[in-house]
Amino acid sequence: MRKAQIFRTALEAVLLSTAATADQSCTKETFSDLSLSGGEILDIAAFAVNNFSLPADPSLAVNHYPEAVTGLSACGVNVTYTHAGQNDTINTWVWLPEDWNGRLMGVGGAGWRTGNYWAIPHAASKGFAAVATDGGHYAEIDPSTVDRNTWGLKSKGNVDWNLLQDFASITLDDAATLGKAAAKAFYGESVKRSYWNGCSTGGRQGHMMAQKYPHQYDGILATAPAINWERWLLNNAYTQSFAAVNDAYTPLCELNAFQAAAIEACDEIDGVKDGIIMDPDSCSFDAATVVGQSYNCSTGPSGTLSSKGASVFTVATSPFVPEDSSLVNGRPFAYGLELGSALWAVANTTCVYGANETSVTCTRAPFNVSIEWIQNYLAKDASFNVFNLTHPDYETLFRQSIDQYSSIIGASNPDLTEFKKAGGKLITWHGLADEFIPPNGTIEYWEKVQRQDPEVDDYYRLFSAPGVGHCFSTNAPGWYPGDVLDALINWVEGGVVPDTLEAKTVGLAKERSANLCKWPKRLIYEGGDGDLASSYSCA
């Protein structure tokens, strides 16, 4: 069964449950006094969620191990509102579980989604009053319809600034306020503690909450964060443009072979051969040195590593700097992927093979968010051709994007003073094999915060996850910290400071464990059984 069909089936179950006999407090009247400063409530709907189930799905397992939801009973609340004069319509979703733990959880989004409706049930199944928002962009909750930016422009040349700001931050603050109010109306008591959970876009949102709305959440779990939104999306797109301009589109299988060659060259530097580069900074690999080697492919004909493929691999794994090699405030415009990361998110292609597979023609298959960022927000033209842009063109786009959008959607303000004063705690981790968002951007942000406040460890901790891809536990063979939410709660509520995060591999024939290190410490193999956490230390 395809994912969209699974979700539609689950959605039908929720809607059918509204016909069931509900607890009398799960009615529209219970929530009739909800209000929002700066907002006008247009509609409130309440419905009973009875014996709800949802299959385990790694793409929904944000900061936890994949786990099915079964037998969930809750009160669902949909709040529709607008900001007066801004011509927007926002939907906020709240699920209030029968077995409430006294806490609220804000659920982050992904890509262009402000919130992920189908991540709400897991949070509710753990006892949290759970809240998410569509940011004013999608009332539909079928995930097959919400991944494109069709709302960025009012017309050619005119950005819809209200909807952009709704997506960037404003509706996240609104959702926290509405979630807390709905919980109080339903349970008759205030939320005791509030938490944020998100990765990627959700990671950016978590950092944004700490920076702009420091009193909304006591604990924020914001991982693999797109905090440099206005920069990393351009570098993601540049690899595709480079391939187009240089006629260098190659089969993804060939790029996978370059990735495998990099891992082979660097794997044992850390002392254990396991398909993981524990410290990519210690690795030096030149793709040109393996050009001419043969590779095998299970999805198409095998071949020989080409110089064009090597050039694409090099661009994808290199920082973007101006052609004169100058840096901006000592930093590149954006970082490249770490060696060992998959390239499908930045250099994906669609290939057609000729008769007897003697020839191949490959075309682009880009990550749409990066392309739409350039079209809608920089060119301000949804039909703009991104794929004839050169390196100097991208230099201009980087400066334009930073100048126009850093203060709106960027979440790299290192001043967390108010969050610290509020007693908030922030944990982030980033996979060192992240195929979408380079971890060096997150490290750069932590370093900026640390320079501003040497006591950063008191409230903000970053952990690196060797061999882990973007957000989920199944993208790469590294150690995934699926119990990190427990560590955050223990820090907020019990004062247990997390110096390491327990982590393990997921989906491998043999489970391996390690304790991830708080940055700037890194995981070091000390000897012994490489599958056991006791064989590693932080140094």
Checking if the pLDDT of 1 tops 60, the result is no
Cα 388–393–396 angle (5° rounding)?
A: 150
pLDDT of residue 20: 36
Look up 499 and say whether it is catalytic. Answer: no
Cα separation values, 146 from 116, 149, 272, Å: 10, 8, 42
In 257-399 the beta strands, taken as DSSP E runs, fall at 294-295, 303-304, 349-353, 360-364
User: If you average pLDDT over residues 196-222, what whole number do you get?
Assistant: 98
The residue assigned the tokens 């072979």 is: 257
> What is the DSSP code string of 64-91?
S----EEEEEEEEEEEEEE-TTS---EE
Let me know if 215 is a catalytic residue. no
> Catalytic: which of 137, 430, 434, 464?
434
Centre a 10 Å sphere on the Cβ of residue 96 and count the other Cβ atoms it contains: 27
Choose the catalytic residue: 370, 412, 470, 535.
470
* pLDDT of 21: 35
Give per-residue pLDDT as tens, 301-349: 888 999 999 999 999 999 999 887 776 677 899 999 999 999 999 999 9
Q: Which domains, and CATH codes, for the chain?
A: 1-190 (no CATH), 192-227+411-501 (3.40.50.1820), 231-408 (no CATH)
Tens digits of residue pLDDT in 454-483: 999 999 999 999 999 999 866 578 999 999
* Average pLDDT of every residue of the chain: 92
Segment 474-503 mean pLDDT: 93
One of 200, 241, 412, 535 is an active-site residue; which one?
200
pLDDT at 19: 36
pTM metric for this prediction: 0.93
144: pLDDT strictly greater than 70 = no
Split at pLDDT 50, 70, 90, the class of 7 is very low
Assess whether 391 carries a catalytic annotation. Answer: no
How many whole angstroms separate alpha carbon 124 and alpha carbon 202? 18
243: pLDDT strictly greater than 70: yes
